Homo-oligomer: A and B are copies of this chain.
Amino acid sequence: MTVAPPLAPPPRLLMGPGPITADPRVLRAMSAQLVGQYDPWMTATMTETMGLYRQVFRTDNEQTFLVDGTSRAGIEAALVSLLEPGDRVLVPVFGRFGHLLVEIAERCRAEVHTVEVPWGEVVPAELVEEAVVRVRPKLVAVVQGDTSTTMCQPLAEIGEVCRRHDTLLYVDATASLGGNPFETDAWGIDVATAGLQKCLGGPSGSAPITISDAAAALIASRKRVEAGIREAGDDDAEAGRTTATIASNYLDLAQVMDYWGPRRLNHHTEATTMLYGARECARLLVEEGLDAAVERHRLHGEAMLAGVRGLGLSVFGDVAHKMHNVVAVEIPDGIDGDAARGAMLTDFGIEIGTSFGPLHGRVWRIGTMGWNARTDAVLTTLACLEQVLRAGGASVVPGAGVAAAREVYAG
C-alpha cells in the first residue's frame, strides 16, 4: 500500500493559451455539496444554467446546455450528432484546431473537404463560398479562435454564405467565447461549442453548447431511446427512420437534449460539480456584462501586445485578426525557448505556452484571459519575462515592456 500525501499544487500564474488560473469564485462554487440529479433544485439549476449560457452565446436557442466532458467532447458531440456517414462537410483550416475538426469529422465517416490558408492568416469568406458552391456540403465546420496561431476567424460573412447556400454552420468557440465578440443568432450559427478553461475562467471538463431549432430537429430525427428506459411511443416515434443512428451514445445530443429537456430522460449522471462551475462562469460573465468582458480582454490583450513589443519582441501572424486573449511571440535568436519557459515557471511561477507543428520552437504563446485578463497579471508577466530575456543574453531596454503596457492602460 502506497498512500499519497494530500494534494498541494504549487502556486502558478497561468499565462499560456489555456487552461488558465481559474477564478477563485468558480472554484468556490464548485466546492458546494451535491444534490440528487432529479432533485427539483437540481433540475431548476440546470434550467437556469441553460438561460445563462443563452446570454453568453447571444442566442434564443432553446437547446443550450452542457456536454459532460472537455471542450473536445463538445466538438465531437456536435459533429457526430450532425453528420451521418457519407455526409459532406467543409472545414476551413487555419491552424491545428481546424485539423482537429477534420480528424473528428473523418471518424464520423463524413466526406471531408478543406480550404486551407497559411498559419497566421484567417480564411477569406470568398474562399469559403467558392468551396461551398463546389462541394455542396451539409455542414461548414470552423474554429473561431485557433490558439495554435492566435487568429480569430471572422464569422459574420461565413454565416451569410451558409444561409445563402442553405448549409449548416458549426463553430468551435472554445478559445474565443467570452473574450471576443460572438453572436450565435446574429451571425446565423447553427451549433457552437466551448469550454470553461479559456476566457470563461473555469477549469476544463464541461463543454457549453448551443443548437439552433433547425439543427436540433435534424439531430432529434436520429434519436433512439435506450433499451432499459424505453416507453410506450418510442417505437412509433422511431419507426420508418431513414436516418443513421448516432454513432456515440455518450455524445448523442438527441439523448442529451432529452436529459436537459422537460422529459428529463435518464442518460449520463450529470457531473454536478462541473455544472456548478459552468454555472458560476456564466453567472460572473453575465454579471460583468458580455460587452464589458470582451472589452476587458481587448484591453489587457492590447497591453500585453504592446508590452512584448516594448521588450523588443516580434509578434507572429496577422495582428489585425489576432484574438484578444492570446499573442504569439517570436522567440528571439539566441534564446532557447524551452529554457526560457522553464525559467519563467521555476523562478517566477508563471507559465507561458509553447507551440504546435510549424510554430514549435519559433513562438511562445502568451495568454491574457478569464480571471487572468488583469493589469497585475499582465505587468508581472512582462516584468519577469524581461528578467528571463536578459538572463538569456537578449538585449532589452530595462522597463520597456512594463512601460509600453502601462501606456495602453493610461489610454
Contacts and interface: CB of A to CB of B under 8 A. Distances in A.
Interface of A: 1-4, 6-12, 14, 16, 18-22, 24, 27-39, 41, 45, 48, 51-52, 55, 68-73, 75-76, 80, 96-97, 99-100, 102-104, 107, 109, 148, 195, 197, 203-205, 226-229, 245-251, 266-274, 276-277, 279-280, 283, 286-287, 289, 345, 351, 354, 356-357
Contacts of A280: 7
19 contacts: A3-B286, A4-B52, A7-B45, A10-B41, A12-B34, A14-B36, A22-B273, A27-B30, A30-B30, A68-B204, A69-B250, A69-B271, A70-B270, A70-B271, A99-B226, A100-B226, A103-B227, A248-B248, A274-B274
Given A27-B273, A107-B248, A289 B1 contact: yes
Contacts of A227: 99, 102-103
Contacts of A1: 55, 286, 289
Given A9-B41, A36-B14, A228-B148, A71 B269 contact: yes
Contacts of A245: 107
Contact of A73 (B11, B52, B69, B107): B69
A270 B69 CA distance: 10
Contacts of A24: 33
Contacts of A274: 203, 205, 271, 273-274
Contact of A249 (B20, B27, B33, B104): B104
Contact of A273 (B4, B35, B71, B205): B205
